[in-house]
Amino acid sequence: MKLSISSFFQSKWNVALFQHFHPVVCQTYMQTLGKIYYLFNKKERKTIEQNIRDFLYGKTEKEVRKITREAFHGIFQHYFEKMFSAYRNFDEVAAYIDKHFKVENIDVINKALAQGKGLILATAHFGAVEFIPWVLALKGYPISIILEYNAEILKKALHEKISHADVELFSSSDGKGTVFFRALKSIKRNRILMTECDEVDRWRRKKSSTIKLFGKTLYFDNTLNVLSRHTGAPVVSVFLKRTGRMNYTLICEDISVEKHIDNTAKDVMYVWQKYVTNNPEQWYQWKKWKQMKVAS
């Protein structure tokens, strides 16, 4: 079976190196390691390149090549952020966030939680998403996350880290009941539930349920609407943008805290469209782009 890029990066050897070297060295190392991975996985690399080209249809060849290079850089940067947030100790992560991160419009989260109905925090596979739980937890917010572990070493590292903050992790593999109902209970305890709107592997893809985004017809999954209506929880969209080398800004956008809308899931998707359109190199789900599209 082919070794996935995530498993490749998270080998015990790489994790050990990552835990001991300076972040700048780790960044450079991950970029080099990523290039090596795709030297031996040319089919996957070609799929990503073709999907980016499809997404950027109508752009000049120069623009396509530039964004493709930047997108691969962004994919490797994502794994730097994933491994730093998971495998460095909690105090190091806290110090890194304090130095390199800022937050915009955090008041919308405060207003949402003041309603006492919990909060659904919608984001995507974009920018430094792996840091979002820790940015919020360090500000004292209670946050719950649904995730599946692709490495036992990752599971162990994250469970050690959450002992330092008010973070809950839900996984179908932990044997503690249905993830969906545990998520509902979490929201009802006035916690923040973080979810990713572009998690295409979990979408219910039906040709009868679509949305027009990026000039294409994509499948539309309304799970977010179900969660919001069932709990009464407001929705906030957040995106953690890279704004420079080792500098980041978490941007919070109101979806249904002070606004009343019929379809929160669609509004979240429109916000996702905005961020990916403006910074396509910061999105890292390119391998799954065609799964999102309705075949013409």
The pairing of beta strand 235-244 with beta strand 247-254: antiparallel
Q: What's the pLDDT score for residue 51?
A: 98
Domain boundaries, the chain: 89-292
Q: What's the pLDDT score for residue 77?
A: 97
User: By the 8 A CB rule, do 192 and 121 touch?
Assistant: yes
pLDDT: which is higher, 173 or 264:
264
For residues 267 and 275, what is the distance between their CA atoms, to the nearest angstrom?
13
For residues 13 and 2, what is the distance between their CA atoms, to the nearest angstrom?
19
For residue 1, what pLDDT band results from cuts at 50, 70 and 90?
low
Instruction: Name residues whose C-beta falls within 8 Å of residue 100's C-beta, 6 or more positions apart in sequence.
Output: 246, 247, 248
User: pLDDT tens, 141-197?
Assistant: 999 998 877 777 888 889 888 889 999 998 877 767 688 888 899 999 999 999 999
For residues 187 and 193, what is the distance between their CA atoms, to the nearest angstrom?
6
**pTM, two decimal places:** 0.94
